[in-house]
Protein backbone atom coordinates (compact mmCIF):
# COMPACT_ATOMS: atom_id res chain seq x y z
CA UNK A 1 0.00 0.00 0.00
CA UNK A 2 1.17 3.54 -0.62
CA UNK A 3 1.49 5.91 2.30
CA UNK A 4 -0.81 8.91 2.62
CA UNK A 5 1.59 11.78 2.34
CA UNK A 6 -0.38 15.02 2.71
CA UNK A 7 1.39 17.23 5.19
CA UNK A 8 0.76 20.91 5.69
CA UNK A 9 3.71 23.18 6.16
CA UNK A 10 3.47 25.09 9.38
CA UNK A 11 4.66 28.55 8.34
CA UNK A 12 2.06 31.29 8.78
CA UNK A 13 0.64 33.10 5.77
CA UNK A 14 2.76 36.10 4.79
CA UNK A 15 0.83 39.34 5.23
CA UNK A 16 3.67 41.81 4.68
CA UNK A 17 2.44 43.24 1.42
CA UNK A 18 2.91 47.00 1.92
CA UNK A 19 4.73 47.31 -1.40
CA UNK A 20 1.63 46.09 -3.29
CA UNK A 21 -1.26 48.48 -4.01
CA UNK A 22 -4.76 47.52 -2.84
CA UNK A 23 -6.79 47.19 0.30
CA UNK A 24 -7.30 44.31 2.71
CA UNK A 25 -10.79 45.67 3.50
CA UNK A 26 -12.32 45.47 6.98
CA UNK A 27 -10.44 43.90 9.90
CA UNK A 28 -10.72 40.07 9.93
CA UNK A 29 -13.50 39.71 7.35
CA UNK A 30 -11.76 41.78 4.69
CA UNK A 31 -13.99 42.25 1.63
CA UNK A 32 -16.25 39.29 2.46
CA UNK A 33 -19.52 41.23 2.91
CA UNK A 34 -19.10 43.24 -0.26
CA UNK A 35 -18.04 40.15 -2.20
CA UNK A 36 -21.03 38.11 -1.04
CA UNK A 37 -23.34 40.96 -2.11
CA UNK A 38 -21.69 41.62 -5.45
CA UNK A 39 -18.65 39.60 -6.41
CA UNK A 40 -18.12 41.11 -9.83
CA UNK A 41 -18.62 44.69 -8.60
CA UNK A 42 -16.14 44.17 -5.76
CA UNK A 43 -13.43 42.74 -8.00
CA UNK A 44 -14.09 45.39 -10.65
CA UNK A 45 -13.66 48.18 -8.12
CA UNK A 46 -10.42 46.66 -6.90
CA UNK A 47 -9.15 46.24 -10.47
CA UNK A 48 -10.08 49.76 -11.58
CA UNK A 49 -8.47 51.30 -8.51
CA UNK A 50 -5.34 49.17 -8.15
CA UNK A 51 -4.77 47.16 -11.34
CA UNK A 52 -4.31 43.44 -12.01
CA UNK A 53 -2.18 42.68 -8.91
CA UNK A 54 -3.53 44.04 -5.63
CA UNK A 55 -3.58 43.13 -1.98
CA UNK A 56 -6.93 41.81 -0.85
CA UNK A 57 -8.55 40.40 2.29
CA UNK A 58 -11.22 37.70 2.40
CA UNK A 59 -12.75 35.61 5.20
CA UNK A 60 -9.79 35.87 7.55
CA UNK A 61 -7.17 35.58 4.79
CA UNK A 62 -4.90 38.39 3.63
CA UNK A 63 -3.23 37.93 0.29
CA UNK A 64 -2.99 39.09 -3.30
CA UNK A 65 -5.81 39.21 -5.85
CA UNK A 66 -4.81 38.47 -9.44
CA UNK A 67 -6.79 39.41 -12.53
CA UNK A 68 -5.68 38.68 -16.06
CA UNK A 69 -5.15 35.66 -18.31
CA UNK A 70 -1.34 36.07 -18.37
CA UNK A 71 -1.24 35.91 -14.58
CA UNK A 72 -3.55 32.86 -14.61
CA UNK A 73 -1.30 31.17 -17.13
CA UNK A 74 1.74 31.71 -14.92
CA UNK A 75 -0.02 30.27 -11.89
CA UNK A 76 -1.78 27.31 -13.49
CA UNK A 77 1.19 26.20 -15.58
CA UNK A 78 3.53 26.86 -12.64
CA UNK A 79 6.72 26.12 -14.56
CA UNK A 80 8.97 26.87 -11.58
CA UNK A 81 6.81 25.07 -8.99
CA UNK A 82 6.22 28.31 -7.12
CA UNK A 83 2.58 27.75 -6.18
CA UNK A 84 0.87 25.36 -3.82
CA UNK A 85 -2.82 24.44 -4.05
CA UNK A 86 -2.48 22.37 -0.88
CA UNK A 87 -1.40 25.38 1.17
CA UNK A 88 -3.71 27.76 -0.69
CA UNK A 89 -6.73 25.71 0.38
CA UNK A 90 -5.40 24.45 3.74
CA UNK A 91 -7.48 26.92 5.78
CA UNK A 92 -10.69 26.44 3.75
CA UNK A 93 -11.28 23.13 1.92
CA UNK A 94 -8.41 21.62 3.92
CA UNK A 95 -10.57 21.74 7.06
CA UNK A 96 -12.61 18.82 5.70
CA UNK A 97 -10.82 17.49 2.65
CA UNK A 98 -7.26 16.96 3.73
CA UNK A 99 -5.47 14.56 1.37
CA UNK A 100 -7.90 15.23 -1.52
CA UNK A 101 -6.50 15.62 -5.01
CA UNK A 102 -6.82 19.40 -5.04
CA UNK A 103 -4.90 19.50 -1.78
CA UNK A 104 -1.80 17.81 -3.17
CA UNK A 105 1.05 19.41 -5.08
CA UNK A 106 3.43 18.63 -7.90
CA UNK A 107 4.91 15.08 -7.91
CA UNK A 108 2.62 13.84 -5.19
CA UNK A 109 -0.37 15.31 -6.99
CA UNK A 110 0.63 13.71 -10.29
CA UNK A 111 0.98 10.34 -8.56
CA UNK A 112 -2.44 10.59 -6.92
CA UNK A 113 -4.17 11.88 -10.03
CA UNK A 114 -3.11 8.70 -11.83
CA UNK A 115 -5.28 6.73 -9.43
CA UNK A 116 -8.34 8.54 -10.75
CA UNK A 117 -7.60 8.37 -14.42
CA UNK A 118 -9.12 4.99 -15.30
CA UNK A 119 -12.42 6.15 -13.81
CA UNK A 120 -12.57 9.02 -16.32
CA UNK A 121 -11.41 7.22 -19.46
CA UNK A 122 -13.72 6.40 -22.37
CA UNK A 123 -14.63 2.89 -21.23
CA UNK A 124 -15.73 4.09 -17.82
CA UNK A 125 -17.62 7.03 -19.31
CA UNK A 126 -19.47 4.70 -21.69
CA UNK A 127 -20.67 2.74 -18.68
CA UNK A 128 -21.66 5.87 -16.73
CA UNK A 129 -23.78 7.25 -19.55
CA UNK A 130 -25.82 4.03 -19.76
CA UNK A 131 -26.69 4.35 -16.06
CA UNK A 132 -27.12 8.10 -16.04
CA UNK A 133 -29.48 8.64 -18.98
CA UNK A 134 -32.47 6.61 -17.65
CA UNK A 135 -32.03 8.06 -14.16
CA UNK A 136 -32.18 11.60 -15.54
CA UNK A 137 -35.18 10.67 -17.68
CA UNK A 138 -37.09 9.35 -14.65
CA UNK A 139 -36.32 12.46 -12.63
CA UNK A 140 -37.32 14.83 -15.42
CA UNK A 141 -40.57 12.90 -15.96
CA UNK A 142 -41.40 13.12 -12.26
CA UNK A 143 -41.39 16.92 -12.50
CA UNK A 144 -44.42 16.85 -14.82
CA UNK A 145 -47.45 18.59 -13.31
CA UNK A 146 -45.64 19.64 -10.12
CA UNK A 147 -47.07 22.82 -8.70
CA UNK A 148 -44.74 25.56 -7.60
CA UNK A 149 -41.83 23.88 -9.36
CA UNK A 150 -38.37 25.29 -8.61
CA UNK A 151 -35.53 24.11 -10.79
CA UNK A 152 -32.65 24.44 -8.32
CA UNK A 153 -33.78 22.01 -5.59
CA UNK A 154 -35.09 19.59 -8.23
CA UNK A 155 -31.81 19.37 -10.14
CA UNK A 156 -29.82 19.29 -6.89
CA UNK A 157 -31.69 16.18 -5.72
CA UNK A 158 -31.44 14.55 -9.15
CA UNK A 159 -27.68 15.01 -9.27
CA UNK A 160 -27.29 13.67 -5.71
CA UNK A 161 -29.17 10.51 -6.72
CA UNK A 162 -27.11 10.08 -9.85
CA UNK A 163 -23.89 10.61 -7.88
CA UNK A 164 -24.79 7.96 -5.28
CA UNK A 165 -25.24 5.41 -8.07
CA UNK A 166 -22.49 6.33 -10.52
CA UNK A 167 -19.76 7.45 -8.14
CA UNK A 168 -20.47 5.25 -5.13
CA UNK A 169 -22.28 2.27 -6.66
CA UNK A 170 -25.43 2.45 -4.50
CA UNK A 171 -28.89 1.65 -5.83
CA UNK A 172 -31.26 4.60 -5.85
CA UNK A 173 -33.35 2.95 -3.13
CA UNK A 174 -30.39 2.03 -0.92
CA UNK A 175 -31.10 3.75 2.38
CA UNK A 176 -27.39 4.45 2.82
CA UNK A 177 -27.64 6.95 -0.07
CA UNK A 178 -29.70 9.30 2.07
CA UNK A 179 -27.23 9.16 4.96
CA UNK A 180 -24.38 9.68 2.58
CA UNK A 181 -26.07 12.71 1.06
CA UNK A 182 -26.75 14.15 4.49
CA UNK A 183 -23.12 13.74 5.56
CA UNK A 184 -21.96 15.32 2.35
CA UNK A 185 -24.35 18.29 2.74
CA UNK A 186 -23.25 18.73 6.38
CA UNK A 187 -19.66 19.08 5.21
CA UNK A 188 -20.67 21.59 2.54
CA UNK A 189 -22.42 23.64 5.27
CA UNK A 190 -19.46 23.14 7.59
CA UNK A 191 -17.24 24.89 5.07
CA UNK A 192 -19.39 28.00 5.58
CA UNK A 193 -18.95 27.97 9.37
CA UNK A 194 -17.06 30.88 10.85
CA UNK A 195 -16.16 28.95 14.00
CA UNK A 196 -13.53 26.37 13.14
CA UNK A 197 -13.38 24.53 16.48
CA UNK A 198 -15.48 21.45 17.18
CA UNK A 199 -18.07 23.07 19.41
CA UNK A 200 -21.42 21.20 19.54
CA UNK A 201 -24.15 22.97 17.59
CA UNK A 202 -21.81 24.72 15.17
CA UNK A 203 -21.72 24.10 11.41
CA UNK A 204 -18.11 22.99 11.78
CA UNK A 205 -19.09 20.37 14.38
CA UNK A 206 -21.79 18.91 12.14
CA UNK A 207 -19.43 19.02 9.18
CA UNK A 208 -16.79 17.09 11.13
CA UNK A 209 -19.38 14.46 12.04
CA UNK A 210 -20.26 14.21 8.36
CA UNK A 211 -16.58 13.89 7.46
CA UNK A 212 -16.11 11.02 9.93
CA UNK A 213 -19.23 9.30 8.60
CA UNK A 214 -17.98 9.51 5.01
CA UNK A 215 -14.56 8.19 5.97
CA UNK A 216 -16.03 5.23 7.87
CA UNK A 217 -18.53 4.55 5.12
CA UNK A 218 -15.98 4.48 2.30
CA UNK A 219 -13.31 2.81 4.45
CA UNK A 220 -15.56 -0.16 5.26
CA UNK A 221 -16.52 -0.73 1.62
CA UNK A 222 -13.10 -0.68 -0.03
CA UNK A 223 -12.45 -4.45 0.16
CA UNK A 224 -15.93 -5.21 -1.09
CA UNK A 225 -15.50 -2.88 -4.05
CA UNK A 226 -12.13 -4.45 -4.91
CA UNK A 227 -13.79 -7.85 -5.15
CA UNK A 228 -16.82 -6.57 -7.07
CA UNK A 229 -17.53 -6.32 -10.78
CA UNK A 230 -18.90 -2.80 -10.22
CA UNK A 231 -18.31 -0.13 -12.84
CA UNK A 232 -18.84 2.77 -10.41
CA UNK A 233 -16.10 5.34 -9.76
CA UNK A 234 -15.43 4.01 -6.25
CA UNK A 235 -14.76 0.50 -7.63
CA UNK A 236 -12.35 1.95 -10.19
CA UNK A 237 -10.44 3.83 -7.47
CA UNK A 238 -10.37 0.79 -5.18
CA UNK A 239 -8.99 -1.49 -7.90
CA UNK A 240 -6.42 0.93 -9.32
CA UNK A 241 -2.79 -0.06 -8.75
CA UNK A 242 0.45 1.91 -8.73
CA UNK A 243 3.29 1.19 -11.15
CA UNK A 244 4.70 -1.09 -8.45
CA UNK A 245 1.53 -3.16 -8.55
CA UNK A 246 0.24 -1.97 -5.17
CA UNK A 247 -3.21 -0.69 -4.37
CA UNK A 248 -3.47 2.94 -3.29
CA UNK A 249 -3.88 3.29 0.47
CA UNK A 250 -7.36 3.19 2.01
CA UNK A 251 -6.70 6.67 3.33
CA UNK A 252 -6.03 8.01 -0.18
CA UNK A 253 -9.12 6.34 -1.64
CA UNK A 254 -11.34 7.68 1.13
CA UNK A 255 -9.97 11.22 0.73
CA UNK A 256 -10.48 11.17 -3.03
CA UNK A 257 -13.99 9.74 -2.86
CA UNK A 258 -15.14 12.26 -0.26
CA UNK A 259 -13.80 15.17 -2.27
CA UNK A 260 -15.16 13.83 -5.55
CA UNK A 261 -18.73 14.06 -4.27
CA UNK A 262 -18.13 17.66 -3.28
CA UNK A 263 -16.25 18.67 -6.44
CA UNK A 264 -18.84 17.12 -8.75
CA UNK A 265 -22.09 18.12 -7.15
CA UNK A 266 -22.52 21.80 -6.38
CA UNK A 267 -20.49 22.77 -9.42
CA UNK A 268 -22.78 20.95 -11.88
CA UNK A 269 -25.93 22.01 -10.00
CA UNK A 270 -24.79 25.62 -10.21
CA UNK A 271 -23.85 25.39 -13.91
CA UNK A 272 -27.22 23.89 -14.89
CA UNK A 273 -29.17 26.39 -12.81
CA UNK A 274 -27.46 29.32 -14.52
CA UNK A 275 -27.85 27.73 -17.92
CA UNK A 276 -31.61 27.28 -17.38
CA UNK A 277 -31.82 30.85 -16.09
CA UNK A 278 -30.46 32.10 -19.41
CA UNK A 279 -32.43 29.64 -21.51
CA UNK A 280 -35.55 30.90 -19.75
CA UNK A 281 -34.85 34.31 -21.25
CA UNK A 282 -33.76 33.05 -24.66
CA UNK A 283 -36.50 31.07 -26.45
CA UNK A 284 -34.34 31.04 -29.57
CA UNK A 285 -31.61 29.12 -27.74
CA UNK A 286 -34.12 26.73 -26.18
CA UNK A 287 -35.28 25.92 -29.69
CA UNK A 288 -31.79 25.57 -31.19
CA UNK A 289 -30.74 23.21 -28.38
CA UNK A 290 -33.99 21.25 -28.70
CA UNK A 291 -33.41 20.80 -32.44
CA UNK A 292 -29.87 19.64 -31.79
CA UNK A 293 -31.11 17.10 -29.24
CA UNK A 294 -33.91 15.92 -31.56
CA UNK A 295 -31.38 15.52 -34.38
CA UNK A 296 -29.67 12.70 -32.44
CA UNK A 297 -32.84 10.70 -33.02
CA UNK A 298 -32.61 8.47 -29.94
CA UNK A 299 -34.39 8.09 -26.61
CA UNK A 300 -31.05 7.96 -24.77
CA UNK A 301 -27.69 9.37 -25.77
CA UNK A 302 -24.76 7.06 -26.34
CA UNK A 303 -21.25 8.20 -25.55
CA UNK A 304 -20.49 8.69 -29.26
CA UNK A 305 -23.44 11.11 -29.57
CA UNK A 306 -21.86 13.67 -27.26
CA UNK A 307 -19.67 15.08 -30.03
CA UNK A 308 -22.80 15.71 -32.05
CA UNK A 309 -23.98 18.35 -29.58
CA UNK A 310 -21.65 21.34 -30.11
CA UNK A 311 -24.41 23.84 -29.27
CA UNK A 312 -25.01 22.23 -25.88
CA UNK A 313 -21.28 22.34 -25.26
CA UNK A 314 -21.15 26.04 -26.11
CA UNK A 315 -24.26 26.85 -24.05
CA UNK A 316 -22.98 25.32 -20.82
CA UNK A 317 -19.56 26.92 -21.23
CA UNK A 318 -21.28 30.24 -21.82
CA UNK A 319 -23.24 29.81 -18.58
CA UNK A 320 -19.96 29.01 -16.79
CA UNK A 321 -18.25 32.00 -18.36
CA UNK A 322 -20.85 34.36 -16.95
CA UNK A 323 -21.27 32.50 -13.64
CA UNK A 324 -18.30 30.28 -12.82
CA UNK A 325 -19.28 27.55 -10.34
CA UNK A 326 -15.93 27.95 -8.60
CA UNK A 327 -16.01 31.66 -7.91
CA UNK A 328 -12.70 31.84 -6.07
CA UNK A 329 -9.60 29.66 -6.40
CA UNK A 330 -6.68 29.85 -4.03
CA UNK A 331 -2.98 29.11 -4.11
CA UNK A 332 -0.06 30.01 -1.82
CA UNK A 333 3.46 30.88 -2.89
CA UNK A 334 6.07 28.30 -1.88
CA UNK A 335 8.99 30.67 -2.43
CA UNK A 336 9.62 34.31 -3.34
CA UNK A 337 8.57 34.99 -6.92
CA UNK A 338 7.34 37.71 -9.25
CA UNK A 339 3.81 38.21 -10.53
CA UNK A 340 2.87 41.06 -12.89
CA UNK A 341 6.03 42.98 -12.00
CA UNK A 342 5.54 42.70 -8.22
CA UNK A 343 7.73 40.79 -5.83
CA UNK A 344 5.55 38.24 -4.01
CA UNK A 345 7.16 36.82 -0.86
CA UNK A 346 6.96 33.13 0.05
CA UNK A 347 3.82 31.94 1.89
CA UNK A 348 1.52 34.57 0.36
CA UNK A 349 -2.07 33.58 -0.36
CA UNK A 350 -3.18 34.22 -3.95
CA UNK A 351 -6.80 34.72 -4.98
CA UNK A 352 -8.18 34.01 -8.46
CA UNK A 353 -11.76 35.13 -9.20
CA UNK A 354 -12.38 33.88 -12.76
CA UNK A 355 -15.60 35.82 -13.35
CA UNK A 356 -13.66 39.03 -13.89
CA UNK A 357 -11.47 37.71 -16.70
CA UNK A 358 -14.51 35.93 -18.13
CA UNK A 359 -16.08 39.35 -18.67
CA UNK A 360 -13.09 41.39 -19.83
CA UNK A 361 -13.95 43.35 -22.97
CA UNK A 362 -10.45 42.69 -24.37
CA UNK A 363 -11.31 39.01 -24.69
CA UNK A 364 -15.08 38.81 -25.09
CA UNK A 365 -17.43 40.82 -27.34
CA UNK A 366 -20.39 42.26 -25.40
CA UNK A 367 -19.22 40.25 -22.37
CA UNK A 368 -22.44 40.65 -20.37
CA UNK A 369 -24.56 38.99 -23.06
CA UNK A 370 -25.50 35.27 -23.00
CA UNK A 371 -24.32 34.38 -26.49
CA UNK A 372 -23.11 30.77 -26.94
CA UNK A 373 -22.26 31.47 -30.59
CA UNK A 374 -19.12 33.19 -29.34
CA UNK A 375 -17.69 29.69 -28.68
CA UNK A 376 -18.31 28.51 -32.23
CA UNK A 377 -16.70 29.02 -35.63
CA UNK A 378 -15.92 31.59 -36.93
CA UNK A 379 -15.92 33.65 -33.72
CA UNK A 380 -14.02 31.36 -31.36
CA UNK A 381 -13.63 34.09 -28.74
CA UNK A 382 -12.29 31.56 -26.24
CA UNK A 383 -9.21 31.20 -28.42
CA UNK A 384 -8.17 34.81 -27.96
CA UNK A 385 -6.02 33.67 -25.03
CA UNK A 386 -5.35 30.18 -23.63
CA UNK A 387 -6.51 31.37 -20.20
CA UNK A 388 -9.38 33.80 -20.84
CA UNK A 389 -11.74 31.01 -19.76
CA UNK A 390 -10.85 29.10 -16.60
CA UNK A 391 -14.25 27.80 -15.54
CA UNK A 392 -12.66 24.35 -15.19
CA UNK A 393 -9.33 25.73 -13.96
CA UNK A 394 -6.12 25.02 -15.87
CA UNK A 395 -2.77 23.25 -15.74
CA UNK A 396 -2.11 20.27 -13.48
CA UNK A 397 -5.23 20.79 -11.35
CA UNK A 398 -7.59 21.31 -14.28
CA UNK A 399 -10.93 19.69 -13.49
CA UNK A 400 -10.68 15.93 -13.92
CA UNK A 401 -14.47 15.72 -14.16
CA UNK A 402 -14.92 18.25 -16.99
CA UNK A 403 -15.98 15.67 -19.58
CA UNK A 404 -18.22 13.97 -17.05
CA UNK A 405 -19.88 17.31 -16.28
CA UNK A 406 -20.42 18.08 -19.97
CA UNK A 407 -21.79 14.56 -20.51
CA UNK A 408 -24.24 15.01 -17.64
CA UNK A 409 -25.32 18.42 -18.92
CA UNK A 410 -25.96 17.08 -22.41
CA UNK A 411 -27.96 14.15 -21.06
CA UNK A 412 -30.01 16.53 -19.01
CA UNK A 413 -30.70 18.92 -21.92
CA UNK A 414 -31.56 15.98 -24.17
CA UNK A 415 -34.18 14.62 -21.77
CA UNK A 416 -35.51 17.95 -20.55
CA UNK A 417 -35.82 19.99 -23.75
CA UNK A 418 -37.41 17.16 -25.74
CA UNK A 419 -40.05 16.78 -23.05
CA UNK A 420 -40.77 20.37 -22.00
CA UNK A 421 -40.75 23.96 -22.96
CA UNK A 422 -40.74 26.28 -19.99
CA UNK A 423 -41.34 29.82 -18.86
CA UNK A 424 -39.94 31.83 -16.02
CA UNK A 425 -42.62 33.77 -14.04
CA UNK A 426 -43.33 37.26 -15.42
CA UNK A 427 -41.64 38.97 -12.48
CA UNK A 428 -38.84 36.40 -12.17
CA UNK A 429 -35.89 37.29 -10.01
CA UNK A 430 -32.63 38.08 -11.75
CA UNK A 431 -30.59 38.33 -8.54
CA UNK A 432 -27.73 35.88 -8.21
CA UNK A 433 -26.04 34.63 -5.07
CA UNK A 434 -22.43 33.49 -4.89
CA UNK A 435 -22.31 31.94 -1.41
CA UNK A 436 -22.53 29.12 -0.38
CA UNK A 437 -22.79 28.29 -4.07
CA UNK A 438 -23.50 30.45 -7.08
CA UNK A 439 -27.16 30.21 -8.14
CA UNK A 440 -30.25 32.34 -8.81
CA UNK A 441 -31.42 33.68 -5.43
CA UNK A 442 -35.05 32.60 -5.88
CA UNK A 443 -34.14 28.98 -6.79
CA UNK A 444 -35.46 29.51 -10.33
CA UNK A 445 -39.23 28.98 -10.25
CA UNK A 446 -40.52 27.86 -13.64
CA UNK A 447 -43.65 26.70 -15.38
CA UNK A 448 -43.07 23.50 -17.34
CA UNK A 449 -45.10 22.99 -20.49
CA UNK A 450 -45.29 19.39 -21.69
CA UNK A 451 -44.49 19.05 -25.40
CA UNK A 452 -46.36 16.56 -27.58
CA UNK A 453 -48.56 15.39 -24.79
- Residues engaged in binding ligand HEM (CB under 6 A): 85, 101-102, 113, 260, 263-264, 267-268, 271, 320, 325-326, 329, 391-393, 397, 399-401, 404-405
Nearest to 43 by CA among 31, 59, 26: 31
Residue whose CB is less far from ligand HEM, 88 or 190: 88
Q: How near is the Cβ of 427 to ligand HEM at its closest, in Å? A: 29
Residue whose CB is less far from ligand HEM, 204 or 274: 274
Is 319 exposed, middle or buried, given 0-12, 13-18 or 19+ CB atoms closer than 10 A? buried
Q: What is the dihedral of CA 398, 436, 388, 104, to 10 degrees?
A: -30
Residue 17: HSE in the Cβ half-sphere, 13 Å Cα cutoff:
27
**Residue 195, number of CB atoms within 10 A of its CB:** 11
Q: How near is the Cβ of 391 to ligand HEM at its closest, in Å? A: 5
Cβ neighbors of 120 (< 8 A, separation 6 or more) are 400, 401, 403, 404
- The distance in angstroms from the start CA to the end CA of the chain is 57
Cβ neighbors of 326 (< 8 A, separation 6 or more) are 267, 354, 391, 393
Residue whose CB is less far from ligand HEM, 16 or 81: 81
Give dist(CA 287, CA 421) in Å, integer: 9
For 190, the enclosing helix (H) or strand (E) is helix 175-190
Q: How near is the Cβ of 312 to ligand HEM at its closest, in Å? A: 13
Give dist(CA 253, CA 212) in Å, integer: 14
For 296, the enclosing helix (H) or strand (E) is helix 283-296
Residue whose CB is less far from ligand HEM, 383 or 398: 398
Q: How near is the Cβ of 132 to ligand HEM at its closest, in Å? A: 11
- What are phi and psi for residue 115, nearest 5 degrees? -60, -35
Give dist(CA 233, CA 55) in Å, integer: 41
Residue whose CB is less far from ligand HEM, 206 or 324: 324
**Residue 91, number of CB atoms within 10 A of its CB:** 17
Cβ neighbors of 126 (< 8 A, separation 6 or more) are 302, 303
Residue whose CB is less far from ligand HEM, 89 or 206: 89
Integer Rg of the chain from CA: 22
Residue whose CB is less far from ligand HEM, 387 or 420: 387
Give dist(CA 240, CA 450) in Å, integer: 45
Q: How near is the Cβ of 405 to ligand HEM at its closest, in Å? A: 4
Residue whose CB is less far from ligand HEM, 35 or 206: 35
Q: How near is the Cβ of 224 to ligand HEM at its closest, in Å? A: 21
Q: How near is the Cβ of 223 to ligand HEM at its closest, in Å? A: 23
Residue whose CB is less far from ligand HEM, 90 or 206: 90
Q: How near is the Cβ of 399 to ligand HEM at its closest, in Å? A: 3
Q: How near is the Cβ of 243 to ligand HEM at its closest, in Å? A: 19
Residue whose CB is less far from ligand HEM, 206 or 389: 389
Q: How near is the Cβ of 397 to ligand HEM at its closest, in Å? A: 4
Q: How near is the Cβ of 221 to ligand HEM at its closest, in Å? A: 18
Give dist(CA 168, CA 370) in Å, integer: 35
Q: Tally helices (H) and strands (E) across the chain.
A: 15, 12
Residue whose C-beta lies closest to ligand HEM: 401
Q: How far is residue 104 CA from its own chain's centroid?
A: 17
Residue whose CB is less far from ligand HEM, 206 or 275: 275
Give dist(CA 300, CA 310) in Å, integer: 17
Amino acid sequence: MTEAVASYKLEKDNRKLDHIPGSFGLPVIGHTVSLVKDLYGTIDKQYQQFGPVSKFGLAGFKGVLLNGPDLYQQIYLDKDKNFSAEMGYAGSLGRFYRGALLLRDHEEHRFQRRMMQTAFKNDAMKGYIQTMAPMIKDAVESWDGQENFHFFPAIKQTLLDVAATIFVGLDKDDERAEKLNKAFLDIANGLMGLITKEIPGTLHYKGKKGERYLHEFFGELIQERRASEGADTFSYFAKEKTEDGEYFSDQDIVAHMSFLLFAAHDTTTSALSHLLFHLGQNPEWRQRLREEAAGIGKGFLDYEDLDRMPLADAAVKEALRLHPSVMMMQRRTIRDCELGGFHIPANTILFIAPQYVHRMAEYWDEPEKFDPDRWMEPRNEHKRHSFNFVGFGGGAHKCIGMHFALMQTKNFLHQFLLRYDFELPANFGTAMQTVPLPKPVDDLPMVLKRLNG
